[in-house]
Structure 1
Amino acid sequence: MPVVKLQRPTLTTSEKLTLPSIFKGFLVTLGHAFKSLAGKSRGADSLNGSGLGVTMQYPEQKWDGELPEYYRGAPALVTDEQDRERCVSCQLCEFICPPKAIKIVPGEIPSDDEWAKVEKRPKAFDIDMIRCIYCGMCEEVCPEQAIYLRKDYAITGLSRAEMVHDKEKLYEIGGKRVGLVNKWNELK
């Protein structure tokens, strides 16, 4: 295999000096500053920014109206319209979760229950929101559509323990979902 020798491009005098490049960067920054002083910058009207520029005043103004349709927020569990758990503890979401943020302990449905034909339900369902990367794989793999990514971006806590959402918290923030649930299908 022949050896190919590459020639470096020769730099001009202005490229060899650092000062002209710094000056060009300064002019670009100065141009943006004057545009924002003359009026709102590009994009500020759509964000309802206050004052100059596109800065959003966060606690008072929220991104809720600006979130795109494909935005993936934090996961939550949902119930059906009769407040029954949709989750069947198949543990597919736990197995597919890349950062291993989901932990499920399956539990049996009591035999005296009307829906005892259903094999199981989660005894414990925990999602560590610190580990969660909001990839949406848990939502895609769920056969019963029991887990959804909601459009929530402000997930806070004062300790690590507060950032682990248990089953009750996940159902509280998830709410109800209307639609066919295979788990409760009479024909199954």
Structure 2
Amino acid sequence: MPGIRTVGRPMTIRERWYLFEIVKGMAVSFRHLVTNIFHQDRMPTLQYPEEKRVLPERFRGRHRLMKREDGTPKCVACYCCQTACPADCISIEAGERPDEEEKVAVRFDINILRCVFCGLCVEACPVDAIRMDTGKYELASDSRAKLIYDIGTLLND
């Protein structure tokens, strides 16, 4: 085959200059300018630090670990949340309790940099030890190390 030949009609002068499309784009920009100046109540933008966003009831925010009545973590180190996590951002180290036969999480870390906030860890937990109902979505930090939450940080949320 020598090559592909495209057959079509030649473009008109109007189509080659794109003048009509430029005028349409400028009209959209002018309409948004007028709306933003005279109808600020219809603007979708929030004045962020002063106005907080209204969160849906099932919003998945920052993680937290639940406590027992005595203040110890409710986590029994079953590794279900770590196994269910598709981003592999949860790491758990189990330890033995001296008075009971179930395990306890000695180390429970969540790397927020890797987390996709899917909620599979919450669904997988058999003892309801991990939740994402804090309502906190401001996760910015100046250091990557601050975005790896340890067991102390997760218990205090």
TM-score by length of 2: 0.84
Of 78-87 and 20-29, the range deviating more from structure 2: 78-87
Q: What does residue 135 of structure 1 align with?
A: 118
Specify whether residues 7 and 68 from structure 1 end up closer, same or farther in structure 2 by C-alpha distance, changes over 3 A only: farther
Q: Does 1:153 align with 2:137?
A: yes
Cα separation, partners in 2 of 1:16 and 1:88, compared to 1, 3 Å: same
One-letter code aligned to 1:161? A
Where do 5+ consecutive residues of structure 1 fail to align? Answer: 1-5, 43-52, 174-188
Aligned residue number for residue 169 of structure 1: 153
Aligned-CA RMSD value = 2.2
Q: Are residues 139 and 23 of structure 1, via their aligned partners in 2, closer, same or farther at CA, if it must alter by over 3 Å?
A: same
After TM superposition, the structure 1 = structure 2 runs for residues 24-103 of structure 1, keeping only pairs within 5 Å, are 24-42=24-42, 53-63=43-53, 66-103=54-91
Deviation at 1:10, TM superposition (A): 8.0
Q: Give 1:101 shift.
A: 0.7
Residues 11 and 107 (structure 1 numbering): CA distance in 2 closer, same or farther, change over 3 Å? farther
Question: SS of 1:154's equivalent?
Answer: coil
* Contact in 2 for aligned 1:107/1:120 (Cα 8 Å): yes
Residue identity in the other structure for 2:19: L
SS of structure 2 residue aligned to 1:130: coil
SS at match of 1:104: strand
Counterpart position of 1:107: 95
Distance apart, 1:160 and its partner CA: 1.4
More off after superposition, 154-163 vs 136-145: 154-163
User: How far apart, in 2, do the equivalents of 1:9 and 1:122 lie?
Assistant: 71
Amino acid at match of 2:104: R
1:7 CA drift (Å) = 7.7
**What is the deviation of 1:95?**
1.2
Question: Quick one: distance in 1 between partners of 2:122 and 2:22?
Answer: 49
Q: Among the aligned pairs, what percent are the same residue?
A: 36
Residues in 2 aligned to 1:68 and 1:14: alpha-carbon distance in whole angstroms: 49
CA distance in 1, matches of 2:8, 2:68: 67
The secondary structure found in structure 1 opposite 2:40 is coil
> Could you say which residue in structure 1 is the equivalent of 2:3?
none
Give 1:124 deviation, angstroms. 0.3
Task: Provide the rounded CA distance (Å) in 1 between the counterparts of 2:147 and 2:97.
Answer: 28
